[in-house]
Structure 1
Amino acid sequence: MSATLELPDLSRRLADLPPLPAALAEVLQALRQGGLTMERCIALIERDPSLAARCLRLANSPFYGRPGRIGSVSGAVTLLGLRTVNNLLTAVTLQQAIRPEQCPGFDLNGFWRHAMNVAMTASTLSARLDLDPSEAFLAGLLHDIGELMLVVLVPEIVADVERRVAEGESARAVERQLLGTDHVEVGSAVARRWNFPPAIVEAIADHHRGWPEGTQAPGLAALLSQIHQLLGPLERGWSAEQALAMVPEATWQALRFVPEERSEMLLRLSTSLAAIGQA
């Protein structure tokens, strides 16, 4: 029999969540205020071997055109720039701050790998839609945070959701059946509770709604919806050449890619996703 939970009980559990972890709040505040200097970033990264390895792996990924040439944290920070490095600090801090209990069927590493793939791609493509790259990164990193919070709050129900999804059911449909809500609503509620910027809350709430017809100024949610179309074939293991025919024409047009740019972009993505996911 499926586990169930009354919506008031879930709402109470959401209300009982602690404030935004202090370490993450500090990093985000510094991001907004420009308070992390290059010297401070380098010092923070060099104290953490895992973070240093992530930073070097990212700097040497094909996204930045210098594979194998960056051998120091200072060189990586200089190449990547403070915004990208601050984004990386945010990602690592968030992963360290939210550590759910083991949940059968839920792939935590896969969750963060996908989040980083979307975040880095959103940051890279944000300028095409005149969006801020740091906000785009954060929106990509957090777009499915509700899924992770459900693992924290109700792991037994998420295990049931994962089992039924593996059998072919829709995750959001099963979540709504068992919880009266879904990970999108939970994610936007958590983002509001943690006082994330309104643009981030909106992106989390609306990233499944697709591209708004007729808009001349698409926001973060629209960007994320198209990035899922772009990354989907690559994350499922198809090559860049195979993915070229699988990405909808509407996605290429929405992201303002002319035909001559598309193969190169997919090749860059396909060779970078593994490195970013491990970073």
Structure 2
Amino acid sequence: MPMPDPSAPPRSLDAWLERLDATSLPISDRQREQLHRELRRGDRPLRIIAQRLQTCPALTLALLREANRHAPGPLGSDSEHLESALVRLGLSRAATILQELPERNATTLPPALIQLLLISQHAQHQAAGLFATRMARLEGEILCASLLFLAPFWALAQAFPDLLQRWEARVIGEHQPARTVEQDLFGVPLVELGQALARRWRLPEAVILSYQALGQERDALIRCLRLARRPGTHPLQRLQDEDSEQLRWLTRPSHSALFANALALAAHSAWDDARSLRWQRLTALYLDLPLARVQTQTHGLAADSARLLPAGPAWHPAQALLWPAGCRRPPPPEPPSLLSSFFRPEQWSRLCERFSQQPSAFANLPHLLASAAQALELCGLQRFALLCTDRQGQLIALHQQGLPPRTPRLKADPGHWPLLPQLIAQSVLVHVSPQRNAGLCRKLPPAIREQFDGRHMVMRGFDLGGRNGLVLFGDQHGMPFSDRQLELLEKTARVIERGTLAFGRRGAPATAAAVPPAP
């Protein structure tokens, strides 16, 4: 079996927690110096110092995590806001934590991280205007929880910058089911990952309860969304009369963090689509205010947020308030995989040399296919199957990799599916994408079609002479292929094809075979 690639994204919840727990968010040297000056202002009240430090999300997260890491007692004794964390840590320890944060120029941060930090700051501003003024006693908790709600995904954007961009391109841009995309990209639902990491980091309780509302308590949230669509005035009074338990659930103060972030995230795509309207209605129900008033207030708060935040490369939804109704900001296109993220030229060349040896270096067919699988994995294929013809002319999978553990061995009858013998006869790489061969997947057997993402996949036949043939189907969890990656896959396939033919001719006179240069 090939060794797991340490640079590849994790696929299980435990692996994600370990990886993201070890990820530190950087700050710029200029920002570090400004924050050090704030910490040295001992004449200022701690509340004011906390407000100034909270302008740096990375430091806010680091201080809360450190304060609660060694907190005595159960989770209920944790610091729920930054002022409480500073009381527990002291300004000297806070300055040490600030100094330990890694340094990186703000212009070199991953764009996905820059954008997420802006969304979190926008959400905090929405929370300040919509909720904190109405629940002044909980102002610190509301503002801190609203800022840190997306903190688990700050670490994700820092460690794997392209994954969230892929999620946005597919879920927002192409309207694919979020759960399916998340399984492809992350191996776990994002809500589950966010909640688990919030618990591990002991983030404010409002953050954990917000993820709980999106996960385990989703049915209660859906009931409230439906109620928010009902016409009439004073809906909370009606809810008190009809279902007082549902009213208590809805009016939890912790929901302010969820609603503020939902409004900011929805506005990131559009102000007037169904997603934004859904959360605007729910916020209006929560506050017992008319929908039009909530919409006006959220628009004004967005404009204030854009004025207060420093100008940068990130998109702020306040810009879209000037657009005509119905205009949308298209999500960025899904980027192709970078060859450098998975390709190891030395390993690839050694495998190619093994296939080029005469006589064949392989003892049996499983040995050959295991080496072929290693070579294909080095080309970026994350899910693939190699099907070979048996004595009856049927195609049957001799190697499957990356498919769900209980997936039965793939089989296909070339006599019923004309595309399969065509692939074997042509022996060239076929690339399927929305722009190229888009309808080809419909010509595959259902058992194969269901295992791969028909938007971005590759298939190739190998003509081994006579009735023998080998067919490859593969994808990378729906991610696009770059031109260089397709070139690498075709080179690798040709090497495998020559090596397999040589294996079948064991005992024949040896002939030299050239190893192609690594890209």
1:17 to 2:22 alignment: yes
Q: Distance in 2 between matches of 1:233 and 1:5?
A: 27
Tell me, yes or no, if the aligned pair for 2:125 and 2:305 is still in contact at 8 Å: no
Tell me, yes or no, if the aligned pair for 1:138 and 1:200 is still in contact at 8 Å: no
Tell me, yes or no, if the aligned pair for 2:206 and 2:255 is still in contact at 8 Å: no
Aligned to 2:145: 139
Tell me, yes or no, if the aligned pair for 1:207 and 1:222 is still in contact at 8 Å: no
Aligned to 1:56: none
SS at match of 1:257: coil
Aligned to 1:202: 209
Which residue type is aligned with residue 188 of structure 1?
Q
Q: Distance in 2 between matches of 1:83 and 1:207?
A: 31
1:89 to 2:53 alignment: yes
Aligned to 1:254: 286
Q: In the TM superposition, what is the alpha-carbon distance from 1:273 to its structure 2 partner?
A: 2.4
Q: In the TM superposition, what is the alpha-carbon distance from 1:44 to its structure 2 partner?
A: 0.8
> Structure 1 or 2: larger strand share?
2
1:119 to 2:124 alignment: yes
Which residue type is aligned with residue 209 of structure 2?
E
Q: In the TM superposition, what is the alpha-carbon distance from 1:89 to its structure 2 partner?
A: 0.9
Q: In the TM superposition, what is the alpha-carbon distance from 1:92 to its structure 2 partner?
A: 0.6
- Change in Cα spacing, 1:230 to 1:200, as seen in structure 2 (3 Å) is closer
Percent identity for Structure 1 against Structure 2: 21
Aligned to 1:184: 191
How many equivalent pairs are there?
220
Question: What is the RMSD computed on CA atoms of the aligned residues?
Answer: 4.5
List per-residue Cα deviations over 1:207-238 (Å, max 9, x = no partner). Answer: 57447742236335522343356556755565
Tell me, yes or no, if the aligned pair for 2:191 and 2:211 is still in contact at 8 Å: yes
List per-residue Cα deviations over 1:237-272 (Å, max 9, x = no partner). Answer: 659xxxx98874443131232579547624531431
Q: Distance in 1 between matches of 2:125 and 2:51?
A: 9
Q: Choose the corresponding residue for 1:128, options 120, 134, 153.
A: 134
Q: Distance in 2 between matches of 1:154 and 1:197?
A: 25
Q: Distance in 2 between matches of 1:268 and 1:168?
A: 29
Aligned to 1:215: 247
Q: Distance in 1 between matches of 2:303 and 2:151?
A: 26
Unmatched runs of 5 consecutive residues or more in structure 2? 1-7, 28-34, 60-97, 225-245, 312-519
Unmatched runs of 5 consecutive residues or more in structure 1? 24-40, 48-73
Q: In the TM superposition, what is the alpha-carbon distance from 1:116 to its structure 2 partner?
A: 0.7
Which is worse superposed, 258-267 or 118-127?
258-267
Tell me, yes or no, if the aligned pair for 1:123 and 1:134 is still in contact at 8 Å: no
- Change in Cα spacing, 1:128 to 1:11, as seen in structure 2 (3 Å) is same
Q: Which has the larger radius of gyration?
A: 2
Aligned to 1:66: none
> Structure 1 or 2: larger helix share?
1
Q: In the TM superposition, what is the alpha-carbon distance from 1:9 to its structure 2 partner?
A: 3.3
1:44 to 2:38 alignment: yes
Tell me, yes or no, if the aligned pair for 1:146 and 1:185 is still in contact at 8 Å: no
Moved over 6 A (4+): 98-101, 244-247
Q: Distance in 1 between matches of 2:192 and 2:125?
A: 24
- Change in Cα spacing, 1:181 to 1:256, as seen in structure 2 (3 Å) is same
Which residue type is aligned with residue 90 of structure 1?
Q
- Change in Cα spacing, 1:109 to 1:150, as seen in structure 2 (3 Å) is closer
- Change in Cα spacing, 1:194 to 1:227, as seen in structure 2 (3 Å) is closer
Tell me, yes or no, if the aligned pair for 1:233 and 1:246 is still in contact at 8 Å: no
Q: Distance in 2 between matches of 1:113 and 1:175?
A: 23
Q: In the TM superposition, what is the alpha-carbon distance from 1:276 to its structure 2 partner?
A: 3.7
List per-residue Cα deviations over 1:118-145 (Å, max 9, x = no partner). Answer: 1122233135367711111121111122
Q: In the TM superposition, what is the alpha-carbon distance from 1:115 to its structure 2 partner?
A: 0.3
1:227 to 2:260 alignment: yes
Tell me, yes or no, if the aligned pair for 2:145 and 2:204 is still in contact at 8 Å: no
TM norm structure 1? 0.57
Tell me, yes or no, if the aligned pair for 1:4 and 1:179 is still in contact at 8 Å: yes
Q: In the TM superposition, what is the alpha-carbon distance from 1:167 to its structure 2 partner?
A: 3.5
Aligned to 1:28: none
Aligned to 1:51: none
- Change in Cα spacing, 1:267 to 1:168, as seen in structure 2 (3 Å) is closer
SS at match of 2:56: helix
Q: Choose the corresponding residue for 2:301, options 263, 266, 269.
A: 269
TM norm structure 2? 0.34
Q: Distance in 1 between matches of 2:165 and 2:264?
A: 26
List per-residue Cα deviations over 1:134-165 (Å, max 9, x = no partner). Answer: 11112111112222222234446445434434
Aligned to 1:149: 155
